[in-house]
Structure 1
Amino acid sequence: MTLFKIQCTACKVLDHIIPPTTESSTTSYSTTASSSHDAEWLRIDAIVLQWIYNTITPSLLTTILQPNNTAAQAWTALARIFVDNKPTQAVFLCQKFSNTKLSDFSSVSAYCQELKV
């Protein structure tokens, strides 16, 4: 997700996935289409949505794909999936870490590298 946010920042479309935090923001696009720039906002939002869809696995895509989704809605759905998985992933990693034995590796360096990973 970090690399995707960097790409959006570089292309000046970050506000399509993460709404500005201040009301005084002077971004050229809002998180929803409005008034006279609807067509342009929708076009750019569709591009960002394509980026999201093209960078995730097919199983994630089918999980978050909804008609008339905006890029912000797709981004939020993805974030929710990954946040929901944090506790399960933490338990898995703790168990894997505890079960990693030095005797399973050819050197201390290989063992330490596995623990880092």
Structure 2
Amino acid sequence: MGKGEEGEPHHTHEKNDEVDMELFKFHSVAYRVINHIDDTPPPESADPTYTDWKELDALVSQWIYSTVSDDLLTRILDTEASARTTWLKLEKIFLSNKKAKAAALETRFVNLTLAACSSVDDYCKQLKDIANQLDDVDEPVTESRLVLQLVRGLSQEYDTTASLINSQDADWDLARSMLNDEVIRQAARQQQSSSVLVASTVPNSTTQSQQPSAATSSPDNTTATNSGSYQSNYRGRGRGKHG
């Protein structure tokens, strides 16, 4: 959430089904409008500051509306409501959906495997992202469980590294480092194997190209052929003279 041309936070075009409420609160503090969404009472309508407060409150409501998805917007939009009232609506919606979301995230977490990801880095990133989302819905994942799930979802070629991670009781950062080292080692070994294969096939191709073909006559056959031709010509010339 950055700062727009007129001082308001602007948002990316991509909308999520839920607002990142903690991040919105953070920006509300930075822009000194947190009192419009917390339980701070508004000024009385007769207060000289009420008009300015009302205008700023409408701006905060606008920021909230611009953050949520279109589907969620239809559920909370109320131009007569204060920013605090709109915020409470969001909290109620999120709390009611929290358990269902936690169950879905838990299923994704335990079923994610390296085979379903594009790389080891992608696998680690997705696993960590799901763990963070579980923490957001008050279902935190401990580091030891995160590492355990990381090992559980590895492919067979990482069995040795998985055993080392378990035996060393590695934390998340160490486990990722060990996996990255193994990726580098396997890539180097594969490259070396490819080089050896190419080197072993080149001499065979050269040898085959140097072998004479079946159509090529041996020196002995060539000599015999030439000798026969010479004798035939010689006899022919002899008969011609006698004639």
TM-score (norm 2): 0.40
Does residue 10 in structure 1 map to residue 30 in structure 2?
yes
Give 1:31's aligned residue: 42
The whole-number CA distance in structure 2 between the counterparts of 1:57 and 1:80 is 16
The answer to whether the 8 Å contact 1:17/1:75 transfers is yes
What is the alpha-carbon distance in structure 1 between the residues aligned to residue 116 and residue 72 of structure 2?
34
- 1:64-94 deviations in whole A, cap 9, x for unaligned? 0124110000111111111111101111011
* Structure 2 counterpart of 1:56: 68
- Structure 1: where are the runs of 5+ without partners? 21-29
Aligned to 2:128: 116
| Aligned partner letter, 1:51 | W
Instruction: Mark the CA change 1:54 to 1:102 in structure 2 (over 3 Å): closer, same or farther.
Output: closer
Paired with 1:108 and 1:67, the residues of 2 have a C-alpha distance of 48
Whichever of the two has the greater Rg, that structure is 2
Moved more, 104-113 or 42-51: 104-113
- In the alignment, structure 2 segments of 5+ residues that lack a partner are 1-20, 130-243
Relative to structure 1, is the Cα distance of residues 2 and 102 closer, same or farther in structure 2, using a 3 angstrom cutoff? same
Q: Percent identity at matched positions?
A: 39
Aligned to 1:91: 103
Measure how far apart 1:108 and its partner are: 4.1
Aligned positions, number: 108
Once the two structures are overlaid, the 10-residue window that deviates more, 37-46 or 71-80, is 37-46
1:74 — aligned with what? 86
* CA 1:103–1:8: 2 relative to 1, 3 Å: closer
1:13, CA displacement in angstroms?
1.4
* Residue identity in the other structure for 2:91: A
Higher RCO, 1 vs 2 (CA within 8 Å, ≥6 residues apart): 1
1:85 and 1:9 mapped to 2: Cα distance?
26
Q: 1:3 to 1:101 in 2, by over 3 A?
A: closer
Question: Residue type matched to 2:31 in 1?
Answer: C
| Change over 3 Å in CA distance of 1:10–1:112 after alignment to 2 | closer
